[in-house]
Structure 1
Amino acid sequence: MKRNQYRNTIGLPVITAVLIVCAAVLLAALSVVVNKNRVAALAEQQRQVEQEMRLLNIEITNLERKIDQMLDGAKVQPILQAKGTWLQKLNPQTRSIIHLKPIPAAKAVANNDSAPANNLSKP
């Protein structure tokens, strides 16, 4: 009886090395795919956030327009006058907003200060 003997030139170390290289290539390809998927997911999230920001900016602009229309000077001035406020319309030709009226007591003090000086110089 003859026994069949296999004469493989590829040994166990070579098969192990080939399997390790194949596993490493497979893991590298898998990591590339996972990273690309993660970048794509982040890009999609960023697009959604930018879209939401655009919508919010449009809404803010619309609200600012609405406020500008509601608080027009022609509408606000009668309301302020009806409430009895001291606010007045601004005159574009003036360079100052606040106008202070002179105090009568200050004029009297200024006149009194100058009078004694004159009296002392004439004895």
Structure 2
Amino acid sequence: MKKNRYRNNIGLPVLTAVLILCGAVLLAALSIVVNKNRISALAEQQRQVEQEMKLLNFEIVSLERKVGLLLDGARVQPILQAKGTWLQKLNPDAKAIIHLKPIPAAKVVVQSTEAGLP
């Protein structure tokens, strides 16, 4: 009787090494794909944030223009004068913006302290 023999030259150690090598290559390829997907997702989020920032900046500029038009000095000054406020136009050459008038009671206190009264 003739026995069938297994005549393959590839042994168990070589087969194990090939399987481990293929597994490592597959894991490396999988990690590269996962990292690229994560990077593309982050890039998409960044594009969305930049687009929202552009829209918000446009809204800010348009609101500043609107406020500038509504609070123009030529429009506000008559309204304030009609309300009876004491506001006056600012003089750009002035060294001080606020000028306070002396209080008459302060003169009396100064004079009384000079005279030696408490």
TM-score using structure 2 length: 0.82
Distance 2:11 2:109 in 1: 118
CA RMSD across the alignment: 2.3
Q: Deviations over 1:46-77 (max 9, x none)?
A: 11111211111111111111101110011111
1:89 matched to which residue of 2?
Answer: 89
Distance 2:33 2:25 in 1: 12
Letter in 1 for 2:2: K
Distance 1:25 1:110 in 2: 94
Compute the displacement of 1:111 (Å): 6.2
Give the match's secondary structure for 2:4: coil
CA gap of 1:63–1:4, structure 2 versus 1, over 3 A, is same
Q: How do 1:27-106 and structure 2 match up within 5 A?
A: 27-106=27-106
Compute the displacement of 1:90 (Å): 1.2
Letter in 2 for 1:71: L
Compute the displacement of 1:2 (Å): 3.4
After TM superposition, the structure 1 stretch with the greater mean CA deviation from structure 2, 60-69 or 5-14, is: 5-14
Unpaired runs of 5+ residues, structure 2, are none
Q: Deviations over 1:93-119 (max 9, x none)?
A: 3221111223344456666777x69xx
Identity over the aligned pairs, expressed in percent? 74
Select the structure of larger CA radius of gyration. Answer: 1
2:2 matched to which residue of 1?
Answer: 2
Distance 1:62 1:25 in 2: 56
